[in-house]
C-alpha cells in the first residue's frame, strides 16, 4: 500500500485498547456502508491517536468516488451516515474522517451537542422542485419551501425520472420521512418519496372563492383582508 488514497476515521474519546472487537466491527461495517466501492476499499489497521481506523483505496478514481459519496451521504443525511452518527452518539465519541495529509474530509456532529429528537413517520411537504439528480439507487431530490427553506428528499431512479419532467413546478411529495426537533422546532431531515402530485396554480380570487365556499368556513362575513391572506397562507402550507 502506498501513501496515497488513504482515509482515517479518527474516534476521539477512546483508544485501540479500550475499543472492543465487537464495537470495532460495528464501526467498520458502518464505515464500509458510508464509503461504498466495497471492492476497492481495504482496512489496514487501528492506530493510536485516540482510535484511528485506517483504510486505503485501490485507485485515485475509486478514492474520489469514496470521498464524494461520503460527503453526499452527510449532506443528504443518508442511511449510512446516520448509522455512524448513531454509533457515535451511543458511545459519546467525537469523530472525523481525515485524508493522508491529515486534512479533515468530513466531521461528524459532536455527541456533546444539544440532544435532539428524531421522529420517523409518513409525511408530506410541498414546494418548488428545483433539483433531481444522482447516480445511486436513491436519487437526491430538493424542493424549495414557501419560506425559502430546502426540503431534502430521495427517490428511486424511476420516481426521479417522473419528477424530472416537472422541474421548477410546485409539487407535493409524500412518503416515509424523518423529522428532527431542536430548539422547540420540527425540521425535515429526509423524506423518501413514494408518490407526488403537481399543484395547480390559482390566483387569489379563485383561492378566496374556494375558501368561502368550503364547509365550516368562517370567512364569508370577514372584512379583514390581512386575516384572509393569513388564512390562505395557512391553507397552502397544510
pLDDT tens digits, 13-57: 888 989 899 999 999 999 999 999 889 999 999 998 889 999 999
Do 182 and 154 sit in the same domain of this protein? yes
Instruction: Out of 107, 139, 156, pick the residue that ends a domain.
Output: 107
pLDDT of residue 75: 85
pLDDT of residue 232: 52
Q: Residue 194: exposed, middle, or buried by beta-carbon count in 10 A (0-12, 13-18, 19+)? A: middle
Do 134 and 222 sit in the same domain of this protein? no
Do 134 and 171 sit in the same domain of this protein? yes
Residue 112 lies in a domain: no
pLDDT of residue 223: 47
- Please name which of 167, 82, 100 lies closest in space to residue 129, comparing C-alpha atoms: 167
pLDDT 10s digits, 96-128: 999 998 889 898 987 555 455 677 888 999 999
- Please name which of 116, 137, 123, 126 lies closest in space to residue 177, comparing C-alpha atoms: 123
Do 138 and 174 sit in the same domain of this protein? yes
Residue 61 lies in a domain: yes
Residue 201 pLDDT more than 80?
no
Residue 203 pLDDT more than 60?
no
Residue 152 pLDDT more than 90?
yes
Q: Which domain holds residue 232?
A: 207-237
pLDDT of residue 118: 72
pTM over 0.75: no
Do 60 and 77 sit in the same domain of this protein? yes
Amino acid at each position: 500500500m502506498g501513501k496515497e488514497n488513504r482515509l482515517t476515521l479518527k474516534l476521539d474519546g477512546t483508544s485501540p485498547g479500550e475499543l472492543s472487537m465487537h464495537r470495532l466491527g460495528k464501526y467498520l461495517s458502518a464505515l464500509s456502508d458510508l464509503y461504498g466501492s466495497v471492492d476497492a476499499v481495504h482496512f489496514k489497521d487501528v492506530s493510536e491517536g485516540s482510535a484511528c481506523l485506517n483504510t486505503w483505496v485501490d485507485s485515485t478514481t475509486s478514492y474520489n468516488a469514496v470521498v464524494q459519496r461520503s460527503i453526499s451521504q452527510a449532506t443528504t443525511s443518508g442511511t449510512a451516515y446516520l448509522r455512524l452518527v448513531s454509533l457515535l452518539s451511543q458511545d459519546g465519541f467525537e469523530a472525523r474522517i481525515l485524508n493522508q495529509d491529515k486534512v479533515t474530509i468530513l466531521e461528524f456532529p459532536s455527541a456533546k451537542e444539544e440532544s435532539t429528537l428524531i421522529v420517523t413517520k409518513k409525511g408530506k411537504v410541498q414546494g418548488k422542485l428545483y433539483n433531481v439528480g444522482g447516480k445511486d439507487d436513491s436519487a437526491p431530490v430538493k424542493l424549495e419551501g414557501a419560506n425559502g427553506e430546502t426540503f431534502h428528499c430521495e427517490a428511486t431512479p424511476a420516481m426521479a425520472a417522473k419528477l424530472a419532467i416537472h422541474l421548477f413546478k410546485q409539487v407535493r411529495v409524500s412518503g416515509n420521512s424523518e423529522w428532527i426537533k431542536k430548539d422547540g422546532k420540527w425540521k425535515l431531515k429526509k423524506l423518501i418519496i413514494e408518490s407526488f402530485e403537481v399543484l395547480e396554480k390559482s390566483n387569489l380570487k379563485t383561492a378566496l372563492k374556494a375558501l368561502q365556499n368550503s364547509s365550516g368556513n368562517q370567512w364569508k362575513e370577514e372584512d379583514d383582508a390581512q386575516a384572509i391572506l393569513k388564512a390562505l397562507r395557512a391553507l397552502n402550507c397544510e
